[in-house]
Amino acid sequence: MSRSVQPGRLSARRVILWAGLLLGLSLVLMAWTATRLFEADLKPEFESRSQLIGAIVREDLESALDLGLELGAIAGTEAYLDQVIAQFEEVERITLLDRAGTEVAVATRNTEAGPEPLIRPDLSADSVTHMILRRNTIIGELRIDLNPHVAETHLTDVFLDIGVIGLIAVLLSFELVIWVTAGAVGKPLDRVDTLLRQQVAGQFTHVIPPRDAGSLARIAWRLSDRAQDVAARQTAAVKRLGQAYFVDVRMPAFLFSLGTEISTAFMPIYAREAGGAEWLAGDLAATAPLVTYLLALAIIAPFGGTLTDRIAPRDLFLTCVPLTAAAMVGVGLSGGVLGIAFWHGVMALIYGVATVACLEYAIRTAPEDADAQAVGSFLFVLIAGAFCGSALGGVLADRMGPAPTFFVGAGLVFLSGLLGAGTLVRDVGKRTTASEQVSQEGHGWAVFANLRVPTLILGVAVPVNVGMSVFVWYLVPVILDDSGTRMANIGRVVMLYFLARMLGGPVASRLADGRIGRMPLLFAGMALAAVAFLSLSFWSGIYAMALSVVILGIGNAICDAPQYAEAIKLAETSDVHGARNRVLGTLRLVERLAAIAGLLACAMVVETVGYDQAVASLGWLMLAGLVVLAAGRLVPTRRAGEALKSKGDIS
């Protein structure tokens, strides 16, 4: 297959866009309908429970009155009413009045003012009234004020849970649509086009088997028959046309990311509450799994390119699948923070190898001169899986507990391996860079003589990964948990980051390969990240946190693909052998080390400086990165190959 010409991609893209639109509309309609149905069932249930609570309290009071006590002389009335309020969340206030309307006893629920609810149910009554009788004579009144926050919370939870599960279903359906469309239209059209071009050039060595022809079986059969006839006359052998495509790895990578990221929303809280050694408690315990996760990724980062050069990406990915699933089971079975951190680090070590294998598969099978789009599409798949994983994990952990959630993630990882075994192709070839064609001397480290390479890494990779790991993985869950936010809502806020990156990534990758270019997008992304952090100095609350998470996600999405595409371009134009693997390996390594350093620094100083100052410091770090990136573009520099030639290192 020619990597430069893939007409099937354009044909399949139109079908996929329409399918995505229909799926989105279906999600909105489903969420609205389900919410209205739940509200209709909620109102009578809520009011009947309130009536039942009032009847129970009235009977208890009338039992005391039957003993001859006066309404105002019953000892412990207010304590009893406080106990009722604590037992039934539907009650906001209970007031006991005598016949003249004077308050005898009052009990009120102490609730802090929370954010405005997304949905307000239409309740027909705000209070329930019961008459207090003694010998069929009204001697008082019991008034129960309902707690509308309960109904609002339940209705909002249903709406958001439907939205989360619906988005997961839409993303999964979207990936399935891409997979099916590519198999029926995209890949067959590319194969027929490639076979036609080969035969026009006089090459009759390939055929298309019927199972690879999709809806173009007849034309594929005619072309294959012609190739076999010509080859038979020339006594030449024919073989199956290569069929490695980026779409092959989309679904396995999506499920793999979904399973491994299922603990994103609750991992710091889970580790902090797991217990363990006295020296590893509190904030250090909360960050321990994240630190081992990033440390493992840092260890494996320099070796990713070497592994994919020696082992086929398909074989490497399939080897990692059962090991990853076993490590996730180990996390779920661990009883302390040290065990959780160890197995989470093992999982990360294997995860790093698997994702590098999938990324290499994507780059090798993508069209030429589309590095940003290849990286952006792959990151879209990974982030979509992480988005679904964080949202699904928050809901599952809230319903069934954190530990069993890891077993669900392990099952999803194993499923991704089964799917990858059937879709991935072992022989996808290797991409030969310009530097490997031009020069076979020098060494990869010489590429850093071009100051744009280190300033790109220090100005973008370091602050972006520090901000993402410290804020999204640590500060957001901890800050919201300390404010009383439920785990399910924490998961929903975290998932907004992945949603923003997922939706912004493909757009940014197209703009990076288009007229705007990579560098303006990098500057814009860093500026947005700074705004996201510094804005929290002026307002707070769950909605402020959610908006900042979205802005940060958009900013990071704008930086993701352009950063890697710029690094690949600088490496391939350096005339240094091995520059591409060296630059990408260093970039991945610095990303992990920066995230580790940021988490450790935050865990050590956050108790002293506070959460607000820690978030503001991330904003200033983004601005410092902008300065470094701009300095690298202003300083005159030469290609690394020219620098080596001037020293006599290469001829």
| Rounded CA separation 406/327 (Å) | 10
Q: Report pLDDT for 172.
A: 77
What is the Cα 397 distance to its own chain's centre? 16
Task: With CA atoms as reference, report the closest residue to 621 among 554, 555, 563.
Answer: 555
Q: What is the model's pLDDT at position 442?
A: 47
pLDDT for position 440: 42
pLDDT at 322: 93
Contacts 24+ apart (CB under 8 A), 628-634: 628/455, 628/458, 628/459, 629/455, 629/456, 629/459, 629/460, 629/522, 629/523, 629/526, 630/459, 630/523, 631/455, 631/459, 632/451, 632/452, 632/454, 632/455, 632/456, 632/459, 633/452, 633/455, 633/519
User: Considering only CA atoms, which of 298, 284, 190, 193 is closest in space to residue 244?
Assistant: 190
Radius of gyration of the chain from Cα atoms? 31
φ, ψ of residue 69 in degrees (nearest 5): -80, 150
Give burial (CB, 10 Å; 0-12/13-18/19+) of 640: buried
Among 588, 595, 603, 564, CA closest to 299: 588
Give the dihedral sign, CA 199/203/204/209.
Answer: negative
- What pTM was computed for the model? 0.67
Could you report the per-residue pLDDT of 568-624, keeping only the tens digit for each? 788 777 666 667 777 877 888 888 788 878 878 887 888 788 888 888 899 999 999
Phi and psi at 626, nearest 5°, equal -60, -40
Please give the Cα distance from 491 to 476 (Å, whole number): 10
Q: What is the dihedral sign for C-alpha 103, 108, 113, 115?
A: negative
The first and second tokens of residue 598, run together, are 């940021």
Q: Is 643 exposed, middle or buried (0-12, 13-18, 19+ CB in 10 A)?
A: buried
The mean pLDDT value of the chain amounts to 78
Between helices 337-365 and 283-300, what is the axis angle to 10°?
40
Angle at Cα 108 formed by Cα 43 and Cα 119, nearest 5°? 35
- Residues (pLDDT < 50) of the chain are 1-4, 124, 433-442, 640-641, 643-651
pLDDT score of 640: 46
Work out whether the CA dihedral 433, 435, 439, 444 comes out positive or negative.
negative
pLDDT score of 161 = 73
Reference 553, options 375, 362, 379; nearest CA is 379
Q: State the Cα–Cα distance between residues 56 and 51, nearest whole angstrom.
A: 9
The label of the residue with tokens 């044909």 reads 11
CA 505 to CA 547: how far, in whole Å?
A: 18
The per-residue DSSP string of 101-143 comes to: S-EEEEEE------PPPS-----S-SEEEEEEEETTEEEEEEE
Tell me what pLDDT residue 437 has.
44
d(CA 273, CA 283): 11
Q: What is the pLDDT of residue 327?
A: 92
Strands 103-108 and 206-207, how do they pair?
unpaired
Distances (CA, A) of 181 to 175, 352, 364, 411, 639: 10, 29, 21, 26, 43
pLDDT at position 439 is 43
What are 132-185's pLDDT values in tens digits? 777 777 778 888 877 767 767 777 777 777 777 777 777 777 777 777 777 777
Half-sphere exposure in the Cβ direction for 641 (13 Å, CA): 18
Amino acid letter for position 522:
L
Which residue is listed with tokens 């009052």?
A: 106
Cα-Cα end-to-end distance for the chain: 36
Long-range residue pairs from 321-324, CB within 8 A, at least 24 positions apart, any chain: 321/256, 321/354, 321/413, 321/414, 321/416, 321/417, 321/420, 322/414, 322/417, 323/350, 324/256, 324/259, 324/260, 324/350, 324/351, 324/354, 324/410, 324/413
